[in-house]
Structure 1
Amino acid sequence: MTFIDESIFRIEPIVKHGWFLKGSKPSCPVNWSRGKECVFGALNFENGGKLISKQAKKINSKTFIEFTQLLMRDIGSFILVMDNAPWHTSRKAAGFLEEVRDCVEPLHLPPYSPELNPVEPHWKAVRSNLANRLFENTSELKKSLKKALDGVQLDINKQRYLTS
């Protein structure tokens, strides 16, 4: 069973915590850029539960299909558990999933239930690794994001996700 999810990481700083002098007025520098990086993530419990990720410029049906093809090369046959995002349910994606039905069996989570997807805690950990930093440009964000994605290791309770 392979769980899939997507997330967008913006160049804007993620302010999580900080120490400030009492009575001071904290400020956060920004660079006013609208840069972002989109990430596809998949978690397969049979492959040790390591997050498989791919950065992309956009999230759409085309990039979803490309990521699914990458998973097919890495994993082989699997059940693809996903939410009901428009790029998962589009005609293009549905047609692709029908074509590869012999090795990818799609399974949709109930609407508005991110707590059922074990990829979600990974996004939280990655955001925490990127917190309190100002990125000068998108290439700096991409490098830091790749490092954070490679370094995230969570001990996900398989039983909880497979029996809920």
Structure 2
Amino acid sequence: MKSPKLQAGYCANWIRILARRYNQRGPESLADQRHHNRGAPSLLSVDQQDRLRHLLEHLSPDGDLWTGPKVARWVSEQLGCKVHPQRGWDTLKRLGFSLQIPRPRHHKADPAQQETFKRELQEQVRQVQHAHPHEQLELWAMDEHRIGLKPVIRRIWALASARPVIRIQQRYEWLYIYGFVHPQSEESQWLLLPSVNIEVFTIALQHFAQTVGAGPERQIILVLDRAGWHESSEVDVPEGIHLVFLPPYSPELQPCERVWPLSNEAIANRHFKTLDELQEVQAQRCVALQNDVTCIRHATLFHWWPTSLFTRLIFFLQRSELQRYGWKHEFWGKSY
């Protein structure tokens, strides 16, 4: 019979340590104990950490952005000895910082007006429902997105040994995607049209109203931005469609803005000879998005978007199930 150390795959000394743990603390002591390790102590004192945290809220001493090596140099000055640049990154992580891209906001945007819109949208929905108590009511959003022969370049996964190369040709011919999304039901409608103006927008509205059945039996509230061709009095709004305009300079409140990176996936890093070739590929992508309802909902269902309690509960349960496996996404917002 083989010795215990050969059967277990451990040396004799480690087996004795495990046996002692088992006798003292029971079976739980045999589990992996590494998660109890606190790691190496911080190089900085509590006061130094607080001072660095305050400095990181502003530009670095040289007037530029903070980086890991700059933090390491600052730590070196505090300790009076040389510190490896990697320690700067470690210090940032220990202080709770992460590398992020700031969310852009137009300099003319009014945050107070944006918050007011979020609160009042629910009331606008109630007013339309009160005016049409027996009709079905839905809250949609729409926007336009320009694509063309000017290439869309996106980051991709590639072997570290060589940088990928793509063929490009800068040309300025355009198409426009008209996207309509219903975050609550995950439904979406797509149109590819040659331009954006009052006439084309009217055509898009009429096509949308006919497709979803807007009219006396179905009322649609459509949230959109304040583009000139949207607000024009010359727009022929179909029966059953109610336009609600976002605050000025507030694209971050538009759910459709979140789907354009998804629609660009099919045309990114590709060279198209003609608009017709581009249109064929983009049309296939729009059809795929129209069928991928979960993707649309996760991208467009903002936490403040008016929905039924049942829909919000289902959304929350699906999110919780994904988080059990450690998955999270920047599109998630606060849920209730």
Instruction: Please give the TM-score of this superposition, normalised by the length of structure 2.
Output: 0.43
Gaps of 5+ in 2: 1-138, 307-333
Question: Offset of 1:110 from its aligned partner?
Answer: 1.0
Map of 2:264 onto structure 1: 127
d(CA) in 1 for partners of 2:151, 2:140 = 31
| Residues 144 and 178, structure 2, Cα contact 8 Å, conserved in 1 | yes
Which letter maps to 1:56?
L
Map of 1:35 onto structure 2: 173
Map of 2:225 onto structure 1: 83
Moved over 6 A (4+): 20-24
d(CA) in 2 for partners of 1:34, 1:115 = 26
Which letter maps to 1:162?
W
| Residues 64 and 88, structure 1, Cα contact 8 Å, conserved in 2 | yes
d(CA) in 2 for partners of 1:110, 1:91 = 18
Map of 1:147 onto structure 2: 284
3-state SS, counterpart of residue 255 of structure 2? coil
Structure 2 CA distance for partners of 1:117 and 1:91, relative to 1, 3 Å: same
Which is richer in strand? 1
Gaps of 5+ in 1: none
Map of 2:31 onto structure 1: none
3-state SS, counterpart of residue 177 of structure 2? strand
d(CA) in 2 for partners of 1:33, 1:11 = 5
Question: Offset of 1:121 from its aligned partner?
Answer: 1.4
| Residues 5 and 119, structure 1, Cα contact 8 Å, conserved in 2 | yes
Q: For residues 93-132 of structure 1, what are the structure 2 equivalents within 5 Å?
A: 93=235, 96-97=236-237, 100=238, 103-132=240-269
Which letter maps to 1:79?
I
* Residue 153 of structure 2 corresponds to residue 15 of structure 1: yes
Residue correspondences, number: 157
Map of 2:134 onto structure 1: none
| Residues 31 and 136, structure 1, Cα contact 8 Å, conserved in 2 | no
Map of 2:206 onto structure 1: 69
d(CA) in 2 for partners of 1:41, 1:69 = 14
- Could you say what the CA RMSD is over the residues aligned between the two structures, in angstroms? 2.4
Question: Offset of 1:125 from its aligned partner?
Answer: 0.6
Question: Offset of 1:49 from its aligned partner?
Answer: 1.8
Instruction: Please give the TM-score of this superposition, normalised by the length of structure 1.
Output: 0.82
Which letter maps to 1:67?
A
* Residue 298 of structure 2 corresponds to residue 160 of structure 1: no
Q: Which moved more, 1:147-156 or 1:77-86?
A: 147-156
2:195 pairs with 49, 55, 58, which one? Answer: 58
Structure with more relative contact order (C-alpha pairs < 8 Å, separation 6 or more) = 1
Question: Offset of 1:129 from its aligned partner?
Answer: 2.7
| Residues 12 and 135, structure 1, Cα contact 8 Å, conserved in 2 | no
Per-residue displacement from partner, 1:11-65 (whole Å, max 9, x unpaired)?
12211125487697x764333432221111101246x322201111101111111
Which is richer in helix? 2
Q: Which moved more, 1:13-22 or 1:2-11?
A: 13-22
| Residues 266 and 285, structure 2, Cα contact 8 Å, conserved in 1 | yes
| Residues 179 and 188, structure 2, Cα contact 8 Å, conserved in 1 | yes
Q: Which moved more, 1:48-57 or 1:12-21?
A: 12-21
Per-residue displacement from partner, 1:101-157 (whole Å, max 9, x unpaired)?
x51111101112222221111111111232111111111100111011111232336
d(CA) in 2 for partners of 1:112, 1:4 = 16
